[in-house]
Amino acid sequence: MEQPNFYAGSHLDRAHRRRSDPDWLKLCLAEPGTRIVPVWRNLNLVRRSERVSAAWLPAASSSLALESRESVLLGIGEGAAHVAVDLSDLSEEALAPIVGAHGEFVDLRTVGPLLGAEEGALLAYARGIAFWHARHGFCGNCGSSTLSAEAGHVRRCVNASCGISHFPRTDPAVIMLVTRGDQALLGRQPSWPPGMHSTLAGFVEPGEALEEAVAREVMEEVGIRVRDVRYRSSQPWPFPASIMLGFTAVALDVAIHPEPGEIEFAGWFSREDLRRSPENEAFKLPRRDSIARRLIEGWLGEA
Ligand SMILES: [Zn+2]
């Protein structure tokens, strides 16, 4: 298999058969070797020494689990259970003695590329599933409360006449590098960091194949028809809840018509332009941990 994208490629055994045992999560939390992977208000715990690394708390502080909103058994790795615990209900003051010298809470996106790939994937998984729990406390069918089950991988509606099981959801988004001979189309959204130019992207809609979503988004955002839509790779993107599905496509048109309000600028760039990217506030490529960057570098590597 090709090198996974950043935030993917975890070797954790997700142990899905054992999740349905209601006692298993409790047993894991009582096990001294268990690693508690805390999430606080969408932030992850990291330690800064010579390098930045993922930090966890010893399970001995299992009162943590009681104080937390939700615990999720992420899986087994290096012989230890890894349990995500959402501490968002705690104030910063209440959090300090629990976290102590173990690390500091940061937005994963600010440190992503500095982490080892395995650790990046673990923290992305913890953040993504904590976000899902936080947003699914009520049943979308009947409005009653839901309760976590299956070691945190399901939420069940408490209303006996409904009883629906809700599963963690990930929103599919297509992201695509559109090319035309030796040129690639990059654009900018007004909300992006200064100078950043990247590929086009958008959410998949109901009743639409991925290839159709690619063609529709390119037409909507820049008014260009495409052919040869080809899947390349995918990337979990829990910011907050997406999976990015990476494609390349070949443009049938040259003239760009940026969508007002959505695309601030879009243009054609040669391989030479991109290889010489000054990486400054006037022009920079997307971040190194993004699938957009990988799509661009993959294309640069083809010639
Ligand atoms: Zn319900």
Between CA 180 and CA 50 the distance in angstroms is 44
The tokens for 289 are 């941990």
Identify the bridge partners of residue 237 per DSSP, sorted by sequence position. Answer: 242
Task: Determine the distance separating the centroid of ligand 1 and the alpha carbon of 86, expressed in angstroms.
Answer: 23
pLDDT band at residue 21 using 50, 70 and 90 as cut-offs: confident
- The region, left, alpha or beta by phi > 0 then psi within -120 to 50, assigned to residue 65 is alpha
Distance 87 CA to ligand 1 centre (A): 26
- The CA distance from 100 to 266, in Å, is 47
Beta-carbon count within 10 A of 12 CB: 16
Query: What separation in Å is there between the alpha carbon of 135 and the centre of ligand 1?
Result: 15
Asked if 201 and 217 touch (Cβ cutoff 8 Å), the reply is yes
How far does the centroid of ligand 1 lie from the alpha carbon of residue 166, in Å? 9
What is the DSSP code (8-state) at residue 198? Answer: B
Nearest to 214 by CA among 239, 180, 255, 246: 246
Tell me, in angstroms, the distance from the centre of ligand 1 to residue 146's CA.
8
pLDDT attached to residue 161:
98
Q: Would you tell me how many other CB atoms lie within 10 Å of the CB of residue 42?
A: 18
Q: Measure the CA–CA gap between 37 and 283, rounded to whole angstroms.
A: 37
Cα separation, 291 vs 115, whole angstroms: 16
Residue 31 confidence class, pLDDT cut points 50, 70, 90: confident
- pLDDT tens digits for 135-193? 999 999 999 999 999 999 999 999 999 999 999 999 999 999 999 999 999 999 999 99
User: Per-residue pLDDT tens for 237-283?
Assistant: 999 999 999 999 999 999 999 999 999 999 999 999 999 999 999 99
Q: What's the pTM? A: 0.93
Average pLDDT, the chain: 93
How many angstroms separate the alpha carbon of residue 174 from the centre of ligand 1? 31
User: Ligand 1 centre and the CA of 159: distance in Å?
Assistant: 6
